[in-house]
Chain A
């Protein structure tokens, strides 16, 4: 048996594959990675968003006259595969920067890769505070409002509720754990009289909703914090509605107002939850109108929050590249730090201190309208108002 013959065969084939993509000098390439096959419900609108941005940028003359190309890769939801993709984008495609990622652990893996290989990385989606704080690095920036910021926005509303007995339901992984931890901390600071009477940690994607709902109800809380989303949220809401868990109780919920998670609930949408989200139908600003019109014209579909994130990620990347006038990572960092730009949600700034953008989120209440879930009484919360003081951030972030 000649085992190693094949090794060579495979190696040669890979080599040929590698040489096929050689970069064209006059274009600027951005490498984009996301969990397209694992999380299509979120990443499809996201992809549409960034494709729209690319089209707009090139129609307006590109970046300093150069055409923008986005090379997109799937990571299959695995950090190791995301690194392989990042490596391909940087080594074979010669991209000027990396963008994208959804899951927190993948965001961190790519951020660590960027730090090691000295590549600029603009994280689009991952929410974990670690990306910009405890595991932050010089090369990594982040667009979306972090876990901390969303928790702070919700706490502002939640602390005004009379409820004293609180229970939490969150998926048992880093996102759920840190969302609950930050919420509890900020909440207890504002309301020392609060008691935390129960916590439930169903595994992500595998909630056995009936027993969880019963267990929470048994603790008899006055208010509930929910962090589950996607299919878990659907099951939780259905069981909760049938078993009357939400009757007479306040519910505060992360992300539930995003169309991705609210729309599937249809006529089972629970009313009166305080949520963060994206009420595209009720935002009346010129910036958003322009985006909405362009998006609907191109896709004949309404945008999800993913569309905004995808759109603004590439818009931000282009703005950074244009200001730097170069693809040198050090110059990109210098350009990005403190850079302000427009977005469908209004002006945002990439902070120098922790590389977090000040993109905010809408906080409102869920309601039922024509058999569909919507967000009402929505107010835009600017990201800049919900970040800790500079002194605290300095302590959280390792020195570059």
Chain B
């Protein structure tokens, strides 16, 4: 019996650290609607700075003072980031801030290694909380007890802050309806900055408090960020109490789950999130999102098909791209194939995000399913390549049909997180089912047949498929189906009022996007000759999001450019420097500031301004790409 009590308390201690970070994220999202991908980075910097300070300052006051000081210092960094970077892009399309914070995260990961060195750092134990307390023969670390008390204390302080101060009233008001708060004359700028500072402070405090239990290292951020997002969503966005309950729920389920299924930790939080979101679409304590009053940005510049001149130009560009094998070497061709494949992947997500207004955080699942489909068909069934290419993406299609059905019942960030949960579930199946998928060692030897094996042939294949897919999706955008899908995106109520079955339309779009991603994945399997769970992983999903946002989420085919720029730059930087994350992150942040509508979105705007004086010059448009190279 004593064991179960201790296990419960241990779970509570884990929950406390999770809650600190999650509450910060929840507050920030609630007020500013920023999906703060950099929250994990702030957590990590908090731990690093606290490590340095606790090594320098001695004694009990030194230790606890260092923890608080570190959190304050990081909060200050947060304020700087908010004022310099995020303030510029609050009016950018939804999720664009995600791109900015993603860029920051990349930079921080390299920066901490530059500043603190590559080794894992182990900090001091907390003075006064070094030992353990005996509980009927079981040991409970006293630091755990401290954390168990700290969690509810922080919850209480936050509750008082929100219920009993004017600032708290404003924050709650802004969480409910920030436009109204602005209309009532509240200075939003400072409200946002202060909220961001508080959120970052909590993240950094969470990181600093890990010093006595954990090692400080440069991958801490990724370890926590996804889990924290999940906790926030399970609890209900913007709900502090919800975050607390969710943190306890997840931690306790893990603490007791491993007693029965020792391998459950890898997937537990995502299973819980999937179940919660299917049963309660707004999380445990969340409320349905009020219909957002969208700025009518989209209607100002309505989408149109290409003019015949533009069609000719695109065709010419395609033809020129197709001549690449005449003068380029094998490496350039293979990179070209990879870029073409990522164009397919990006336009498939773009279709879902821009046309359907459904941002998926787990799109790699369908890419990876396509790849695994190929691996199964080619390796196990021994089918010829053409048949594999035709059938392989069907696995992506089936996955999208099943998961899409549940996902489209939700919207906004909840939709995004449910797709993430599904992707992680698929990933963990690929990871764990070693006898079928080979686990993380993957499936090897999926090489193309002779007719497609040479780099130039494969390049033409990939380029051709990419062109077909892009054209097909453009046709879909301007078909009646595309109009209906855009109607559900722009106004769900009105579209349903005129008789559009919104859920079915969105589901169809999801399946189309998933199948298309599967086509990309199928080609990718043949390009690399092997399939790994990585192909379904979070980082690939994030890559896709970045490509779409970089290209411009409000454009018709911006993802094509986004994919080319991002992938080419990524491959080139990784090859040229070990600090590729720092440079790439810096580049993304720069793009975000200079092109708040994405590269293509911004170019379209410029072109529109110039349209009267001169036709849009392609030399101008091509410039950023060349400089990016």
Contacts and interface: CB of A to CB of B under 8 A. Distances in A.
B215 A231 contact: yes
Nearest to A75: B574
Contacts of A215: 7, 258-259, 262
Contacts of A112: 444-445, 529-530
Interface in A31-61: 36-38, 40-41, 43-44
Contacts of A238: 122, 212-214
A271 to B, nearest CB: 17
Interface in B463-485: 467, 470
Contact of B331 (A18, A41, A202): A18
A344 B105 CA distance: 40
Q: Which 8 A-B pairs have the closest CB atoms?
A: A4-B317, A40-B118, A13-B629, A234-B215, A91-B331, A211-B255, A91-B330, A210-B10
A173 B431 contact: yes
A200 B266 CA distance: 12
Interface of A: 1-11, 13-19, 36-38, 40-41, 43-44, 73-76, 78-81, 83-85, 87-88, 91-92, 104-105, 108-109, 112-113, 115-116, 128, 130, 135, 172-174, 177, 198-203, 205-206, 208-212, 214-215, 217-218, 230-231, 234-235, 238-239, 242-244, 263-266, 268
A179 to B, nearest CB: 13
Contact of A11 (B313, B336, B470): B336
B180 interface: no
B352 interface: no
Q: Which of B220, B263, B578 has the most CB of A within 10 A?
A: B578
B11 interface: yes
Given A1-B600, A230-B217, A242-B131, 19 more contacts: A3-B561, A4-B318, A5-B313, A7-B318, A10-B625, A13-B626, A15-B327, A15-B328, A80-B535, A81-B574, A104-B440, A105-B440, A116-B529, A135-B444, A206-B265, A211-B254, A242-B139, A244-B139, A266-B122
Nearest to B439: A174
B460 interface: no
A1 B306 contact: yes
Nearest to B4: A218
A91 B334 contact: yes
B3 A79 contact: no
B363 interface: no
A136 to B, nearest CB: 11
A207 to B, nearest CB: 8
A280 B334 CA distance: 43
Contact of B564 (A7, A44, A217): A7
Interface stretch (B290-298, B381-389, B565-573, B588-596): B565-573
A2 B338 contact: no
B321 A7 contact: yes
25 contacts: A1-B604, A2-B313, A3-B317, A3-B560, A4-B318, A6-B317, A10-B565, A11-B324, A11-B328, A15-B324, A18-B329, A37-B110, A37-B578, A79-B442, A83-B528, A88-B331, A105-B441, A113-B529, A201-B263, A205-B223, A208-B14, A210-B13, A218-B259, A231-B215, A243-B141
A17 to B, nearest CB: 6
Contacts of B144: 210
A194 B216 CA distance: 37
A105 B580 CA distance: 22
B534 A231 contact: no
Interface in B531-547: 532, 534-535, 539
A370 to B, nearest CB: 16
Interface residues of B, number: 110
Contacts of B11: 210-211
Interface string B414-455: 000000000000000001101000011110110100000001
Interface string B135-154: 00011110110000000000
A14 B327 CA distance: 12
B565 A211 contact: no
A217 B139 CA distance: 10
A10 B332 CA distance: 10
B172 interface: no
Given A84-B335, A205-B223, A234-B120, A5 B258 contact: no
B14 A210 contact: yes
A8 B314 CA distance: 10
A137 to B, nearest CB: 9
Contact of B3 (A9, A92, A214): A214
B442 A109 contact: yes
B121 interface: yes
B335 A211 contact: no
B574 A76 contact: yes
B321 A8 contact: yes
A393 to B, nearest CB: 19
B530 A109 contact: yes
B160 interface: no
A38 B141 CA distance: 32
Contacts of A1: 306, 310, 555-557, 600, 604
Interface in B47-64: none
B113 interface: yes
Contacts of B227: 206
Contacts of A80: 524, 528, 532, 534-535
A202 B439 CA distance: 16
Interface in B584-629: 600, 604, 618, 621-622, 625-626, 629
Contacts of B121: 264
B331 A211 contact: no
A218 B467 CA distance: 60
B486 interface: no
A86 B219 CA distance: 25
Interface string B331-348: 110111011000100000
B557 A3 contact: yes
Contacts of B122: 234, 238, 264-266, 268
Contacts of A263: 119
A199 B263 CA distance: 9
Contact of A214 (B6, B213, B441): B6
Contacts of A88: 331, 575
Contacts of B254: 208, 211
A151 to B, nearest CB: 17
Most buried by B among A6, A177, A264: A6
Nearest to A203: B266
B581 interface: yes
A84 B571 contact: yes
B131 A109 contact: no
B84 interface: no
Given A36-B578, A76-B574, A6 B336 contact: no
Contact of B625 (A6, A74, A177, A212): A6
Contacts of A13: 568, 625-626, 629
B182 interface: no
Interface in B218-241: 218-220, 223, 227
B119 A41 contact: yes
Contact of B120 (A4, A11, A230): A230
A85 B217 CA distance: 26
A91 B329 contact: yes
B120 A2 contact: no
B43 to A, nearest CB: 14
Nearest to A72: B578
A215 B259 CA distance: 6
B110 A264 contact: no
B380 interface: no
Given A4-B317, A37-B578, A105-B442, A116 B447 contact: yes
B80 interface: no
A44 to B, nearest CB: 5
Contacts of A10: 339, 564-565, 568, 625, 629
Contacts of B621: 2, 5-6
Q: Which of B119, B223, B434, B571 has the most CB of A within 10 A?
A: B119
Contact of A174 (B3, B440, B625): B440
